[in-house]
Amino acid sequence: MNPQEPLIFELSVRDRRALEFPACDAQSPEVEQLIPEKFLRKKLPQLPEVSEFDVVRHFTRLSQLNFSADTNFYPLGSCTMKYNPKINEKTSSLAGFTDAHPYQDESHLQGSMELLWNLEKMLCELTGMDAFSLHPAAGAQGELTGLLVAKKYFKTLGENRTKVLVPDSAHGTNPASANIAGYSIKSVPSNKRGRIDIDALKNVLDETTALVMVTCPNTLGLFEDQILEISKLAHEAGALLYMDGANFNALVGLAEPAKLGFDILHLNLHKTFSVPHGGGGPGAGPVGVIQKLSKFLPTPRILKEKDKFKIMLESESTIGQVRAFFGNTGALVRAYTYILSLGHDGLKDVSENAILNANYLLSQLKDLFPPFVPETCMHESVLSGSRYAKDGIKTLDIVKRLLDYGFYAPTIYFPLIVPEAMMIEPTETESKKSMDDFVSALKTIAQEMKDNPQTLKEAPFTTPVRRLDEVLAARNPILKWKQ
């Protein structure tokens, strides 16, 4: 197979067709009568002219060049690239879901509405929250939704709180979401143990603080073991405590965020609850809140009256609509299937095994790549390749070489507080053998750094393309094909 697969346009041959439609024999108005002239094409679109076989072969070859969790180890820290059971695909493709239309009468959608209502209740049980909205289509939109809920809450109290506190160990979307919501952002530094510096938090926490946004576990893969004190401080200042639940895969069945003092959280169902999210989506970022905030959640909402489900379209206190209909329903069906398949005890096993796997890799790699904080981690660990900088080797070089050994590169250079960071998350679904193979590859690379460091500078050698000029690509993107 040629790794340099040509573009579909380069396979084009004039007048070649995959199929031809018969001429329409129905009497109908001319196109010009149906579409205003300004919207009609003046010339044919520049589409590739290829046979059906060309199309099938081309896209099959492209799919074989893609890296996926179904083919190799995908230790992308913070992203939880876990296995997606195929039963999820079967249930989400049932005709009752795929053939439904959101504008159907609600009496025809009772099954879908019951599933969504049940999923909300399941998420409430797992988190301790009192209500959920399934609308947000991703974690960042979930953050924004939670922030808008908080803003509406303080508005009803007549309080003008303008500031959000974000630890430097939080996900990068937290300050971005807070900014979009109209808040100013104040960063809170970490202490030497990689947790929130309590004294620094006290110094910036005041009556202007609306939320303290905490990623728990944080992006160092560490549990905020002073979270109860953080919660007490936030609430004494009249602020709300927000949890970024992107790392919830380490807590399911082990800890309920509401009992830790959180008022609002979002969950990434495409991470914790096994929905495919390679390539950017579709995702799902439901938002959960405590009782006093529930009336501010987005509409429409699903209500249950006796044995029937109804759609509540409007509410005086709601923040409004953040997503069409009820979000990415196909993703929600997959998550519902996953939760039902495992049950509460099975989900607890997931978290425990995710923690076990992460600590196994940490123990195997800590001598080569020292962890930023030398402690037991949760679902992921953050190691550093800074010791090799004196030899001119960067973490980027290490993970580029890792591609040649058939492993996807871990997240690198994040979190920003760790020099030459390498964030590794095996999830619960990796076997000991696959993790041992991963460790073996990194040990081999470490030896290569001593014997022939230039190899790492030139890697990868086996991928369809080698090293790209990322600066040039960012500054001069080619967004349009020109024949």
Q: Reduce the secondary structure of 320-383 to three states and give it as a string.
A: CCCCCCCCCHHHHHHHHHHHHHHHHHHHHHHHHHHHHHHHHHHHHHCCCCCECCCCCCCCCEEE
CATH topology of domain 352-473: Aspartate Aminotransferase, domain 1 (3.90.1150)
Residue 53, pLDDT score: 92
- Looking at the chain, the whole-number percentage of residues with pLDDT higher than 70 is 97
Render pLDDT for 439-460 as a digit per residue (tens, 0 to 9): 999 999 999 999 999 999 999 9
| 279 contact partners, CB below 8 Å, separation of at least 6 | none
Same fold, 87-341 and 352-473: no
pLDDT tens digits, residue range 77-104? 999 999 889 999 999 999 999 999 888 8
Structure confidence at residue 379 as a pLDDT band (50, 70, 90): very high
Token pair, residue 474, equals 């960012």
Q: How many CB atoms lie within 10 A of CB 107?
A: 10
Q: Is the pLDDT of residue 383 over 90?
A: yes
Please report, to the nearest 10 degrees, the dihedral formed by the alpha carbons of residues 96, 100, 106, 109 taken in order: 10
- DSSP helix/strand/coil, 230: helix
The answer to whether 335 and 115 are in contact (CB under 8 A) is: no
Picking from 214, 282, 278, 275, the residue whose alpha carbon sits closest to that of residue 245 is 214
Is the pLDDT score of 1 beyond 60?
Answer: no
By the 8 A CB rule, do 416 and 425 touch?
no
In tens, the pLDDT along 119-151 reads: 999 999 999 999 999 999 999 999 999 999 999
pTM of the model: 0.90
Q: Is the pLDDT score of 30 beyond 80? A: no
Distance CA 144, CA 146 (A): 5
Domain residue spans of the chain: 8-65, 87-341, 352-473
Confidence band, pLDDT 50/70/90 cuts, at residue 40: confident
Lowest average pLDDT, out of 44-48, 68-72, 390-394, goes to: 68-72
Q: Tell me: cis bond preceding 257? Omega within 30 of 0 counts.
A: no
CATH C-level class of 87-341: alpha beta
